[in-house]
Amino acid sequence: MGTINISKQTARRFVLGKQGLWPGRRWRGKSGTAQAINACEAVQLDPLIVVARSQDIVLHSRVLEYKPDHLYDVAYKQRKFFDYGGWLAMYPMRDLPYWRTHMEGRAKDSYVSRFVKGHKKLLDEVRAELRKRGPLGNRDFDGARVQSWSYRGRKETAVALFDMWLSGELMMHHRVGFDRVYDFRENIAPKEFNYVASEKDAETFFARKAVAFYGLKREATMRGELNYHLYREYSKTEMTKLLEGWKESGMVRQVQIEGGRDIHLVLGEDVQALESLERGRIPKGWNPKETTTLEEVTFLAPLDIVSARGRAKRLFDFEYTWEVYTPAHKRRWGYYVLPILYGDDLVARLDPKLDRKTMTLEIKGFWHEDDAPVKDADFANALAKGLMRFAKFVEAKKVDVSAIKPVGLRREVKKVISEE
């Protein structure tokens, strides 16, 4: 089968739609939270909270009536998901057998094994405490401080717990805030998912997972995906053979995006949706439950897969850098800037902050693209509605839009907010 040629608009809509962002939210509440994570394949987690944590903004942008408690409920009470990895993310529990293949390789990696080999007595003591006392976090242990800084923890027990988690011996029982509380895997994982997949099955799984996660995955990056997930170095010859096999089986198809040189991969099962979009139609099952992104803008999280790490530039010709770790004097925009999705395009950014004393959602800055429809009443209305929904999500009582420019846009946004 030949290469599929699509427009850049089709590519944007497909990637947004696969992630449940376009043409509008199509899930609702706690059950919708689980549906959204399954559809997205993974949601990256981050501890930082300014207005809300990145993962909660990700789910708010996809799920009507989303509340942060929903994520912890479906993961740690219903056990439908588990979190894992140095690139920390929440994954469907059905993925665990394949991640256990990865975990076995991770356990042998020097990053983990060096500490484990030098602290066997400590690990045995940690295991004994977990058996005796049940689920525990690092705060439940007294321990010596690590000799050099480690993001894994300041105490040796924290590093021990973290490494046992990376190697799959422990899983996350629950979190208190964002603090980890661990238990043995066998006490957490449903039996039907608590096994190690074969390397061959894991190979196919992680390849498919990568394409599904990105929607359109650059073919040239697939080798790196497998190298990381299976802890081995695939040769170019091996990778070429695997790619040929996946194409022949129909698991993936090649895609060329208008104006681009890269060859992308799409899942065979998603070709019909891609072709529908190219014909100007909305794929089956994509219709929103309430407003579309033209009727109400959506704010994308800092770590949203559609815009993070340079993808906003490639997909939307939109410059975006999460500047939270950039020194203030070097920031181009602001501390916690969020891209604004209007229709199928990123048209602006805003820097929100929640004043918890007055429970006011403050917009500290607003920056629009040159071609953004800032003089359009429909855009002002959509922006105001997006702000009101976001304010309700973070439980703000007021919205301060005084920093929004141009003045005409600010005036229209304030008018809509005041009328609600």
Reference 372, options 351, 342, 416; nearest CA is 342
Q: How confident is the prediction for the chain on average, in pLDDT?
A: 95
Assess contact for 171 and 103: CB atoms under 8 A: no
Q: What is the pLDDT of residues 3-17, one digit of tens each?
A: 999 999 999 999 999
**The tokens 């846009």 sit on which residue?**
409
pLDDT band at 151 (very low <50, low <70, confident <90, very high): low
Q: pTM for the whole thing?
A: 0.95
pLDDT band at 187 (very low <50, low <70, confident <90, very high): very high
Q: What is the pLDDT of residues 273-292, one digit of tens each?
A: 999 999 999 999 999 999 99
* Out of 42-51, 107-116, 379-388, least confident range: 107-116
Q: List the beta bridge partners of residue 64.
A: 28
The dihedral built from the CA positions of residue 72, 76, 78 and 84, taken in this order, carries a sign that is positive
Cis check: omega of the bond before 68, within 30 degrees of 0: no
pLDDT of residue 354: 97
pLDDT value at 146 more than 60: no
pLDDT of residue 112: 87
pLDDT band at 114 (very low <50, low <70, confident <90, very high): confident
CA distances to 148, 341, 393, 412 from 143, rounded to whole Å, are: 15, 47, 39, 58
pLDDT of residue 117: 87
Strands of 10-137 (E only): list them.
27-28, 43-44, 63-64, 81-84, 89-92
pLDDT of residue 155: 85
pLDDT band at 149 (very low <50, low <70, confident <90, very high): very low
Q: What is the pLDDT of residues 33-87, one digit of tens each?
A: 999 999 999 999 999 999 999 999 999 999 999 999 999 999 999 999 999 998 9
pLDDT of residue 380: 98
Task: Measure the CA dihedral 65/304/227/79, to 10°.
Answer: -20
Q: Mean pLDDT across the stretch 162-182?
A: 96
Reference 365, options 347, 351, 354, 344; nearest CA is 351
| Greatest Cα pair distance in the chain | 67
Written as one string, the DSSP assignment of 156-222 is HHHHHHHHHHHTTSEEEEEEETTEEEEEEGGGTS-GGG-SPPPHHHHHHHHHHHHHHHHSSEEGGGH
